Structure formats: C-alpha cells, structure tokens
Structure 1
Amino acid sequence: MNVTEALHVWRSYREQMVRLHLVAESTYENQAAIVLQLQRALGHHQLDGLRKSHIELWMGERLQTCAPVTVRGEMNVLRQVLNWCVDEGHLLAKPRFPTLSVANVEADLPSDEAFLWVLAHVPEQHSRALEFMMLTGLSPHELERLQVRDESGTMFLETGRSTISIGMRPDFPVKQESRRRPVPLNRRAADIWYQAASGREPTAAVFPSVAAMQKAIRRAVDNPPDIPFSPTGTDRVTPKLMRKWFASKVASQQPEHILQRLMGHAPGSPITRRHYVRSSEGQGRDAVASVTI
C-alpha cells in the first residue's frame, strides 16, 4: 500500500464518521483539502517506506509559501492518518516527525490607518465584505457561506436593528455548536448588507469569496497608487485579520463573555484572548499618552 491508497482509505473512514455525526462536516472538509495536498507531495511513497526525511523535506517546501501554523495543521492530519494506519494494521509503526516550532505570541495588528487604506483601495464589492467582517466579527468562511435568507429584516424596520443567522441552515455546517448563533448588525453593517443583498434570490451568496477578497488586497498592496501614501502594515492585512480587529475593539469596551458570544466561542474558552484579542500600535500610543510621574 502506498501513501495515496492509505489516504483514500482513511478519507472513506472519515466520511462514514460524518454520516454517523461523530465528526463535523466542516472538519472533514478541511481535512479532505489537506489530504489532497499530502497526496500530491507524499502519495508516491510506499506507506511502510515513508521516513522522517521525506516529511522534513515536504515540511521545508511548504514553509516557503505557508505560515508555520498552517503547516503544523497539515502535519497533524498526516500524523492522524498514520496513527490510524497503525491501529488498523496497515502499518507496523509510523515514522518520527520533524519538530516545527510555532510562536505562541502573535504580532500586533496593523494600524487602523492600514485597514482603512485597504478598504479604500480594493473594489467596492470587496471593500463592503471586508468592512462587514470588521463590524460583525464573522470569520472568512462564515462570510462566504452567507445567503440572502440568513437575515431577519423585520427587526431592522421596527427597531433600527437587524440580525443575521450563522449555522442555522442545514447546508451551513459549523465546527462547534457555539458557532451556531445570531449576529447583531449595527446601522452601518445593516446598510452594507442591504446594498449587497438587495434584489438577489434568497439562496444567493451575499458577498464575494474569501479567495477573491485576498487577491483584491494583494493587487492593491502590490500596486499602490502614488497618492495617497500607503501606511505601514498594509502588506499584513488579510480577510482573517478583520475578525481579529473586531475582537480587539470589542474587548476594550465589553466583558469577555460578550465577545465570546459574538464570535461563537464557547463560554470560558481560552481561544478568544489567545488568538483573537490583539493590540495595535495606536492602542499602545493611547495607553501611554496619559502616563505621568
């Protein structure tokens, strides 16, 4: 059995787990995408001939274009596949894995000026989608799965507020039950929603894909206009950072349990502060502005 065959058998097993509701469909989809990457890179090796050196060379190639945390996630899937192969008798022992260090401390957010510059220099449909994430805290995959029917419009007409539903449709899977939630929209977010959703069918997607937004940001950053001047940090802005910008703004004004509810994190989850609440250069300046002796 080679690695490609092992990956195929493992994927079939995971499909059965999804049907039995033992694995979330979104988890399976993420793993299936990683399996394709593993198959392209390592699939030609015999399963019992896979060595640490093979994994190490693949890891090194991936690190040329991917963040360490992404590569570590892919290695974890490979480790899970090989452990399963040992349990099922397809492999006597899995090879040792190379060590991959991922920093525990993430970089500060770019300045607000960098975010605003990006919003001003990408096409309107992408700017609306990125700003919507900044105002709601939605993750990129949640945003691109939104459909027109996910909005409750009567509340906006009666009270000036509106809500969208995350994970309530049968075809809108969520990884954890806490991610299934209503998300309130403020006036600006509601305006963006109606501009993007107006006149579309109930099952139509409201916003562009995350891949399209990422390409739009890269085009703007790689080909900036001469005027106005591009602020530092624009090259670090990504669709995922919009959610972190939201988390950091809310965390400075509201208790943590409110932020966790808005972001779909389980109560008391350490994920919120560990990975999402980050400071910016501007917040640092504000913090020391009034310090005196």
Structure 2
Amino acid sequence: MSKTIRRGPLRLRPYILDGKPTGEWQLDIPPHVTMTGRRERHKFPSRQQALDEANRQLMEIRSKGVIGYDTIPLARITLNEATRQWCENEKRRVRTLKKRKSSLESNLHRLKSILTFMGKDDVARITSRRMEEFQEHRLNQGRRPSTVNADIIVLRAVMKWSKEQGFVPEVPTVEPIPEDRKRVELPTQAEVSLIISALPSRLGVLARLLAETGCRKGEAFNLEWEDVNLVGQGYVEVRPKEGDGWTPKTRQSERRILLSDGLRDALASLSTKSSYVFPGRDPDKPMDNFRKALAAAAKKAGVKKHITPQTLRKAFMTWQAERGIPEHVLQAQVGHAPGSRVTKRYYIQATEEAKEKAVFSLRVLNAPNR
C-alpha cells in the first residue's frame, strides 16, 4: 500500500535513500504551481512537518486567485534572464543618447533587491499579487514607501519590455504605497545668513550658492571654473563632463543659472588654483561632503534646526514661491521637468511666516441695536 499523501496538486511521501527509509518525508511541488515553473522537492524531518508545509503551500496556491497558476502558460524565461536582456537594451539606449548613464545605474541598483526576491520566477508568474508580496517584503526590511514605490516602477519597466517581446500578455499593476510627506522645518532667510557667516569663506560661498540658486549639492560640488561666467550678468552652467565624468541628474538639469551681483562677486573672490570651484582635500577632485560643516555652522549660529544642502534647496524653492515666481520659471531654475508635480509635492512648503501673513480678518459691521 502506497504511503503517498496528496494535498491538491502536492504529494508527500517517505524519503528513501539506497532503498531504505530514512525517516524523513519529501514534499513534491509540480512545476505548474511553482513561481519558477520548475518542479521543487523539499525534505522534512517528520511526516507532520511535511503535512504542515503542504497545507500552507496549498492555501497559498488557492489564494492566488480563481484562475490558478495551472492555467497561466509559462514564458520559459526567468526574471533574471529577462532583466539581463532588458539591461542590454537599456545600454544601447545610453549609447544612442536616449537614456542617461546615471539613470541606468540607478535602475541597476534597484534591481538588486528585486532579483534577490523573485529573480528565479518565470516572468509569467509575476502577477499583481507577487508585486504586493514584494512590497510587503521590502517594508518588513525597513525600507521607506518612496523607496519601495521606486523599486516597483523599475520592475514594471522590465515587465513592459517583456510584454513588448511577447513573453507576457500584460503588465501587472499594483497599488502604490501611500507616502507621508516628510515635514522639514525650513530656516528663515535671516537664519541662513547667520549660517553663511559662521562658515569658512569658501564654504560660505558654497552655502550661498545653494541657498540663492537652489542647485543640487552634486551640481555645486562638480562645478568647474570653465562653467562659470563672472563678467556682466554672472551665471554658472550645469552640464555633463567629458568622457565618463559626472553628469547632471536629468536632461532638464542641464541649464544656465543666473547669479545675483553679490553671489557673482563672492565667487570672484575665490581662488582659481584648482579646476573645481569647490575642490576637496585633493585639489584635483571635487568636494564630496558638506553636511558636517553645515551642521556645525548652524549650531555656532544658534540655529536650532536640522540644516542640510537639501534643506537649502527646499528653502530656495519655498522662498521663490512665496515671492510669486511662476512655477514654470522656478522649475527651469532648479532643473525640474516642466509641469512636474515633484516641485510642489516635495519641495515647496508652507512656512510659519507665510501662514501668519495668510491670517484673514473679515470686517464685520456692528449690528444695529434692537
């Protein structure tokens, strides 16, 4: 009499080695219900442990939906292989100037966690439910909702390419994780002036550049003197460096930034011995860290707020919005794409000063005595 136990499509049986029972039990999972499309076998020390796992697997299979995995035709290509081919396609796009190298590098970084979790899955088995499982997995790892949502965007890009190649009939969708807007206490213009005064001269000019133009710290750090014009209307140009050098974040980031007369004169006072406007300890390399000096200057100036280069960028956009600068002009200043929702959603904030100015008082006429 067979000792095989069935649980739906799953089978359990004693594990036999060299014709002799080992006391262990083996769980056989057929290929049509696995994520990889390949048969899986797992061993357990006891019959009960094997049964428990079989029941758990059966519940999971049934929870996938009414259709069931056995009706989904396999693509016969794993996400690992699909991603490899997608990357080759994206590298061609980089070589033909249709995509930035930095953008592809960011994609590859995000794909690491995706492939660790589901790289062996057949692409046809990557469903909305599977994406939700990945979201849950990443949140359990302590990742922020914005990070997980960005991971999903890259995964869907690979799945979209897979659909174009005929590997999958459609691109699965998943509801994004709500992102709480992080509240940052912005410094006032007076507080930033105090911080700039508390910094060494060159770093003070750097802080002023960030606060008066809203440029990204990487744009400021990689600024070279050949990118700076100090004659007449001063300006700096954000542009990619030759060869495999630094590149701006996006195409919209390539721009000319006009300078105030005061900032132009401050830049003109700096040494030009290095090719970089703000060199690091090695004069042949750009500065790469400014946070500690900025935090120390804020403390020295008595500003009890967390100040970073990103804080100054947000402060600039907020001040410009309060001045009534049109959004399309502001986006051109800071290197955001025209019409981007990022500017308002993540950068412009309602300061306490603006809220105080917005207090409204209705003039109420005294009612006649009756």
- Tell me, yes or no, whether TM beats 0.5: yes
Match of 2:287 among 203, 208, 232: 208
- Take 1:69 and 1:123, find their aligned partners in 2: how far apart are those partners? 36
Q: Is the 8 A contact 1:26 1:173 kept in 2?
A: yes
Determine if the alignment matches structure 1 residue 282 to structure 2 residue 353: yes
Match of 1:12 among 88, 93, 98: 88
| Residues 39-76 of structure 1: CA deviation (Å, up to 9, x unaligned) | 4x4365434566346413432145x254x323312221
Q: Is the 8 A contact 1:147 1:205 kept in 2?
A: no
> Counterpart of 2:211 in structure 1: which amino acid?
M
Match of 1:184 among 258, 261, 264: 258
Q: CA deviation at 1:202?
A: 6.2
Structure 1 residues 91 and 122 mapped into 2: Cα distance closer, same or farther (>3 Å)?
farther
Q: CA deviation at 1:200?
A: 0.8
Q: CA deviation at 1:163?
A: 0.8
> Counterpart of 2:236 in structure 1: which amino acid?
I
- Take 1:291 and 1:31, find their aligned partners in 2: how far apart are those partners? 52
TM-score (norm 2): 0.58
Determine if the alignment matches structure 1 residue 253 to structure 2 residue 323: yes
> Counterpart of 1:59 in structure 2: which amino acid?
R
Paired residue for 2:152? 75
Determine if the alignment matches structure 1 residue 241 to structure 2 residue 311: yes
Structure 1 residues 99 and 274 mapped into 2: Cα distance closer, same or farther (>3 Å)?
closer
SS across alignment from 1:80: helix
- Take 2:86 and 2:212, find their aligned partners in 1: how far apart are those partners? 40
> Counterpart of 2:347 in structure 1: which amino acid?
Y
Q: Is the 8 A contact 1:108 1:281 kept in 2?
A: no
Paired residue for 1:24? 100
Determine if the alignment matches structure 1 residue 46 to structure 2 residue 121: yes
- Take 1:162 and 1:8, find their aligned partners in 2: how far apart are those partners? 46
Paired residue for 1:55? 134
Q: Which has the higher strand share?
A: 2
SS across alignment from 1:255: coil
> Counterpart of 2:332 in structure 1: which amino acid?
R
TM-score (norm 1): 0.71
Determine if the alignment matches structure 1 residue 162 to structure 2 residue 162: no
Unpaired stretches in structure 1, ≥5 consecutive residues: none
Q: CA RMSD in A?
A: 4.0
Structure 1 residues 184 and 71 mapped into 2: Cα distance closer, same or farther (>3 Å)?
same
Q: Which has the higher helix share?
A: 1
| Residues 28-48 of structure 1: CA deviation (Å, up to 9, x unaligned) | 233233234544x43654345
Identity of aligned residues (%): 19
Structure 1 residues 88 and 145 mapped into 2: Cα distance closer, same or farther (>3 Å)?
farther
> Counterpart of 1:241 in structure 2: which amino acid?
T
Alignment of 1:84-99 (within 5 A): 84-90=161-167, 97=174, 99=176
| Residues 129-148 of structure 1: CA deviation (Å, up to 9, x unaligned) | 34321111212342333222
Unpaired stretches in structure 2, ≥5 consecutive residues: 1-76, 281-285, 364-370
How many matched pairs? Answer: 274
- Take 1:201 and 1:132, find their aligned partners in 2: how far apart are those partners? 18
Bigger relative CO (Cα 8 Å, ≥ 6 apart)? 1
> Counterpart of 1:19 in structure 2: which amino acid?
R
Structure 1 residues 32 and 127 mapped into 2: Cα distance closer, same or farther (>3 Å)?
farther
- Take 1:122 and 1:11, find their aligned partners in 2: how far apart are those partners? 44
> Counterpart of 1:11 in structure 2: which amino acid?
C
Q: Is the 8 A contact 2:278 2:287 kept in 1?
A: no
Structure 1 residues 228 and 22 mapped into 2: Cα distance closer, same or farther (>3 Å)?
closer
Structure 1 residues 285 and 254 mapped into 2: Cα distance closer, same or farther (>3 Å)?
closer
Q: CA deviation at 1:165?
A: 0.9
SS across alignment from 2:177: coil
> Counterpart of 1:255 in structure 2: which amino acid?
I
| Residues 215-259 of structure 1: CA deviation (Å, up to 9, x unaligned) | 656x759xx96x87652xx24x44223222111212222430432
